[in-house]
Chain A
Amino acid sequence: MSSPSAWWTVILVVGALNYLSRLSFIAVFARVEMSPPVARALRFVPAAMLTAIVVPAVVFVAPATLVFSYTNPKLVAALIAALVAWRTKSATATMAAGMVALWIVQWLLHAAA
């Protein structure tokens, strides 16, 4: 097993780096005026980053194995969940619909196999 010092070194250094990353621009732009192009770019952060987090979790069925078809239950479930999110704007409904859809598609594929 690994040494305890490795754990605490990683915890303290990564913890500090994460905090500094989180604080970085909040501290800087409290003093410095933000240039208009930067302000424009930042509007796209939520859409771009959240998509970059969600998509790999949905389209990869295994590391480096992309599946873009109905045989990927996660893809079907995510599309249904996205539709529910768009219509209801409710996180609970989105997660519930996505999970139920996933179970149904998994069960159907299992029954068909």
Chain B
Amino acid sequence: MSRIFSRPDFIAGARDMTPPLLGLLPFGLVCGVAAQSAGASILEALGMSALIFSGAAQILATQLIAADAPVAVTVLTCFVVGLRFLMYSAAMAPHLRGLPPRWRNAISFLLTDQVFAAGIRRFRETGDLRNGASYFLGSGVLLWTTWQASCLVGYWAGNVIPTAWSLDFVVPLCFLALLVPALEDRSTRVAAFAAGVAVVALDALPMRLSLICAGVVGIAAGMIAETRRRTR
């Protein structure tokens, strides 16, 4: 463990994750409120935030359970929403090859949208395994802990933030703050544009399949743009 762990990079990861986390707090509150109003016990609410550990899946699961949907439907819907983790996993994989299995297993558990976006940027910038893995662990541990806390506060206290403040909008804003630096060249901008058009066009698909389909469309568009640029 100590062969890989680098304390300064762990702290840097946690520090850099703090601003995006502020954006996630209202999301966690909403998840806690949803679990409470759907009739989950405190342990069930905590089980969801700790083990499912995905806001979108937690919201969908509470809604479907509260609506008495068949368990299989709930599981399938949450799985489809989690398909993006397959892509994140694949994108992280080349950077994590040299890690001991224990590290890989631990880091995988912490793989979320925010930690992925910040972590992969760090790996690309430094190209250093110890640095990147410790940074990833630092941001992931802080995000997981904060997520549990914000879900619990939502469960106990209800939505402590008045809805008139529209603070839920801070959730897409924190994703936007991660997205903009990822638009590093023409091809990535084409990928983003295509994904944006596709996600709106495919909105009517069931089980939020629009999300993963738009991701695939965006990746394909980015690859085509890159190929055309090279051959020209």
Contact = CB atoms under 8 A, between A and B. Distances in A.
Nearest to B22: A95
Contact of A2 (B39, B92, B188): B39
B169 A99 contact: yes
B1 interface: no
By secondary structure, the B interface counts as helix
Contact of A41 (B79, B165, B189, B223): B223
Interface string A2-13: 101011111111
A30 interface: yes
Interface in B178-217: 178-183, 187-189, 191-196, 198-200, 203-204, 210-211, 214-217
Contacts of A91: 19-20, 23, 174, 177-178
B176 A94 contact: yes
Contact of A52 (B22, B74, B183, B196): B196
Interface string B104-135: 11011101010011001000000000000000
Contacts, number: 285
A66 B194 CA distance: 17
Contact of B219 (A12, A45, A57, A94): A45
B182 A50 contact: yes
B154 interface: no
A88 to B, nearest CB: 10
B93 interface: yes
A69 interface: no
Contacts of A57: 169, 171-172, 175
Interface in A30-87: 30, 34, 37-60, 64, 66, 74, 77-78, 81-82, 85-86
A50 B171 CA distance: 12
B218 interface: yes
Given A14-B79, A52-B195, A4 B44 contact: yes
A74 B168 CA distance: 11
B89 A18 contact: no
A38 B165 CA distance: 43
Contacts of A30: 93, 96-97, 99, 101, 104
16 contacts: A17-B75, A17-B79, A18-B78, A18-B85, A26-B111, A27-B104, A30-B101, A42-B91, A45-B91, A47-B183, A47-B195, A48-B216, A48-B217, A48-B222, A64-B203, A99-B173
Interface of A: 1-2, 4, 6-15, 17-19, 21-30, 34, 37-60, 64, 66, 74, 77-78, 81-82, 85-86, 89-92, 94-95, 98-99, 102-103, 106
9 A-B pairs with the lowest CB-CB distances in the bound complex, closest first:
A48-B218, A15-B51, A29-B93, A91-B19, A44-B222, A57-B172, A85-B180, A25-B90, A50-B179
